[in-house]
Structure 1
């Protein structure tokens, strides 16, 4: 029996004739009650251990009731179980697929700007340098270069206390390295795709740059409350979904939560070293999706 056949047969056992709203309320409350019953059976198992010999039988019963109520909700809302399962499986695979174990190195055509002339392509390999300097007012700042070329203006923290956000361009570099995307970096590297007016305006323009910077700031504040991700291997699901929501109209919408997670953690791995060393070089490789810190 496949899941949609089960759904059709289960629908025949729905013994109430109510409005859609009333029926939905009944099955929602029924689902809540069955989840409680499942918890009760588990409590008995914890209390009595192996002497509770009915646990498996009760587990089958309670899980079956939960599935029935879930199926009823889907039926009332005219959603097939197969649609739900396919969506859920894709979502979990996107989130938890092992990038190291399953992903291959990008091939030609895998980067968003492959079809453009090299002068409009992000560099597939590049070296960034961070050096201390002073701005026009004589204040301490950071100067950045990429492949020997000046990258934007000098940067200060713009905060009451130094929190080393002035190294945040490392996050843009990690988005380039791991995702092949960063409107901010593309603009400051003078790699905007001006040959395509629409792409230049939407993908490489001001709104996209604001989103790129917003993601950097959002993640930084989240990281601040989690020891700047030191020792962290898994990021908060809500954070990743917020990022996907912000970028859903851009080319980077193709990036999975797992890929965003890798990009963010890669950037912070280097950022923590840079915060300690103050200056240094970072070797970035888009093909291998790697960033390495190197002492100057």
Structure 2
């Protein structure tokens, strides 16, 4: 995609491929989204004013929030049967509405602090979106003859805010499309496994069967053991918490990361498959710190999943965008940071599916298929 030639209508058609706001309520859900993202954009400005020295990444946040506002604006227009180029308003009259680059021929300048003009335009944008929300609350917005003009006002305020912020809407649009593709891709193509180029003895097994089952020891203390190819592996696992919550079965998460993401320092350590032929990879990707990071990911996911019945009934596309981004934030600087959010979601769902099975049956057999990027769980014979 060439940003310089990205058209408004091309962006809209690509954006609405990931539109999940269509419902029997018409435009209401998309309008709520537009209202919420506009509020988030204002919130970023407030944070910068309040925490001027400590708040980092302001410009990046503004670009992202503008992209989100643009996405919802495109969705609202699409639901109403309008093209984005049709609501370019004043700018359309100037003959510059076909591409984002033509809308803003100037180069973007870094936005260090919110300017007074930017703040005023953001408040104008908020007012325009507020009027749109008020109209939606009164009835069928799609049939309102004033809708095109109101959407035109919203677009103009957004474009003006971008001008004053030194941000180009094309940058916001491109980043927004990449963000949507990261989460809801048009085509799911898995990347190569991280250890494809390493010696066979340093690769995670492409197919692996692991038996996990519970035992009861002295004082009725329950623990979990694991077995692979008839050999017991790892340590006996307990919940390590005052109130038992079956966390002792959480290795299912690590195996899911190995199977779906092709990444698991914990699994590598368990099977002694560290990539020692390259010292930097051995220490930086497979070492103790990476193991602790993965354990942190598993603990965080477990805590969130526990509140939501371990994602029972959830399917790909259902997990929260913010939650998935927080998970990936844990692994910044490590190779697995490059894995798309949709693949993280599949790994998390596979791990929780296995965990629910183990929690109910107290035993199970995990089948890892790294080539197929999946993990399944089945009954373990007595």
Q: TM-score, normalised by structure 2?
A: 0.68
2:213 to 123, 131, 143: 131
Contact 1:183 1:204 in 2 (8 A): yes
Which residue in the other structure is 1:30 paired with? Answer: 124
Contact 2:253 2:351 in 1 (8 A): yes
How many residue pairs end up in the alignment?
A: 276
Matched, 1:295 2:379: yes
Larger relative contact order, structure 1 or 2 (CA cutoff 8 Å, min sep 6): 1
Once residues 58 and 8 of structure 1 are traced to their aligned partners in structure 2, the CA distance between those partners, rounded to angstroms, is 30
Matched, 1:239 2:333: no
Alignment of 1:115-126 (within 5 A): 115-126=197-208
Q: Per the alignment, in what secondary structure is the counterpart of residue 223 of structure 2? A: strand
Q: Per the alignment, in what secondary structure is the counterpart of residue 166 of structure 1? A: helix
Which residue in the other structure is 1:14 paired with? Answer: none
Contact 2:261 2:339 in 1 (8 A): yes
Contact 1:31 1:66 in 2 (8 A): yes
1:21 to 95, 111, 115: 115
Contact 2:368 2:376 in 1 (8 A): yes
1:71 to 145, 159, 170: 159
Which residue in the other structure is 1:90 paired with? Answer: 178
Cα shift readout 1:219-267 (whole Å, capped 9, x = no counterpart): 1110111111111221122211111212121111111111111100111
Q: Per the alignment, in what secondary structure is the counterpart of residue 127 of structure 2? A: helix
Which residue in the other structure is 1:15 paired with? Answer: none
| Alpha-carbon offset, residue 136 of structure 1 | 8.8
Pair 104,240 (structure 1): closer, same or farther in 2 beyond 3 Å: closer
Contact 2:212 2:226 in 1 (8 A): yes
Pair 132,79 (structure 1): closer, same or farther in 2 beyond 3 Å: same
| Alpha-carbon offset, residue 149 of structure 1 | 3.8
Cα shift readout 1:104-135 (whole Å, capped 9, x = no counterpart): 576xxx11001111111001100011133356
Pair 141,71 (structure 1): closer, same or farther in 2 beyond 3 Å: same
Contact 2:259 2:375 in 1 (8 A): yes
Once residues 145 and 77 of structure 1 are traced to their aligned partners in structure 2, the CA distance between those partners, rounded to angstroms, is 59
Q: Which runs of 4+ in 1 moved over 4 A?
A: 134-138
Contact 2:268 2:286 in 1 (8 A): yes
Contact 1:126 1:147 in 2 (8 A): no
1:189 to 264, 268, 271: 271
Aligned-pair RMSD on alpha carbons?
Answer: 2.3
Pair 88,265 (structure 1): closer, same or farther in 2 beyond 3 Å: same
Once residues 138 and 29 of structure 1 are traced to their aligned partners in structure 2, the CA distance between those partners, rounded to angstroms, is 63
Alignment of 1:4-19 (within 5 A): 4-8=101-105
Q: TM-score, normalised by structure 1?
A: 0.86
